[in-house]
Amino acid sequence: MTPVKTLFISISFFLVSLGLHAQTPASTPADTNIVRVVQLSGVLKSQDSVPLPYATVQISGTKYGVSSNMYGYFTIPVKEGDLLLFTFLGFHPAGFRVPKNNETNKLSITQYLMPDTQYLNEVVINPWPSSAEFNYVFVHKDIPDDDLERALKNLDPVMLQNIADNMGRDGSENAAAFFAQLQDQNSRLGGQPYNPFFMTGPNGQIIPAVNFTKLYAYMQYLKRVKAKEKKK
């Protein structure tokens, strides 16, 4: 190898090394791998634009998620490229991929869910295991009386008389029986007629059945109480 070729090769390697060292960090593609966080907000609605309250919003592949409020509104911080899953009872699940290179760190969407209609097979319910057993029970069933028949039984004269004969005395009947007992007692002791305010003693003397002194004092006390209430 001649000295000229050796010098040329050395100069070439030198220029290539200068070019590599002259690259700036801004020209490297490392910055394109930065993942941005976006505050995603939205409203979940049905096909008829009815808000879906308390629906589930979850980031796919994670346990992180939120629920929509009673108006179907939700908000959640996500990363660009994340896949969100929306689920609600009675509706098909839906998904949304967060786009990349957003102009701002906020994003708003309106997500519609389609109703999940399921048709079940027909089910026939019989009241009895067999038709013969049903017919037997239907014929021998003891049907209760209606309201009219029960009312006629309750108004039966014989039953009403039995109830009256076995019924205890009320307050007025007890009072009448008590005064009749006093009158009978007075008649047997002294032959005096019954008087609710006086009664015959064991020796035949007439004694007051009511303490008029205490009764007068009690009436005066009631008047004083009423007078104080009027002043208030």
Q: Which of the residue ranges 10-24, 74-88, 89-103, 198-212 would you say has the lowest mean pLDDT?
A: 10-24
Q: What is the pLDDT of residues 145-157, one digit of tens each?
A: 888 888 888 888 8
Any idea where the domains of the chain sit in the sequence?
A: 35-113, 149-227
Question: 35-113: which CATH topology?
Answer: Immunoglobulin-like (2.60.40)
- In the block, tokens 């990363």 appear at 79
Whether the Cβ atoms of residue 182 and residue 199 lie closer than 8 Å to each other: yes
Q: Classify 17 as helix, strand or coil.
A: helix
pLDDT at 39 over 70: yes
Joined together, the tokens standing for residue 147 give 């309201």
Q: How far apart are CA 138 and CA 127, in angstroms?
A: 11
**CA 30 from centroid of its chain's CA atoms:** 56
Mean pLDDT across 157-166? 86
Q: How far apart are CA 197 and CA 178, in angstroms?
A: 14
**CA 11 from centroid of its chain's CA atoms:** 87
Torsion sign over Cα 185, 191, 197, 200: negative
Sheet strands (E) in the chain = 37-46, 56-59, 65-67, 73-79, 83-87, 94-97, 106-113, 198-200, 206-208
Report the pLDDT value the prediction gives residue 8, as an integer from 0 to 100. 54
Model pTM? 0.41
Radius of gyration of the chain (CA): 52
Whether the Cβ atoms of residue 36 and residue 103 lie closer than 8 Å to each other: no
Whether the Cβ atoms of residue 84 and residue 66 lie closer than 8 Å to each other: no
Report the pLDDT value the prediction gives residue 10, as an integer from 0 to 100. 57
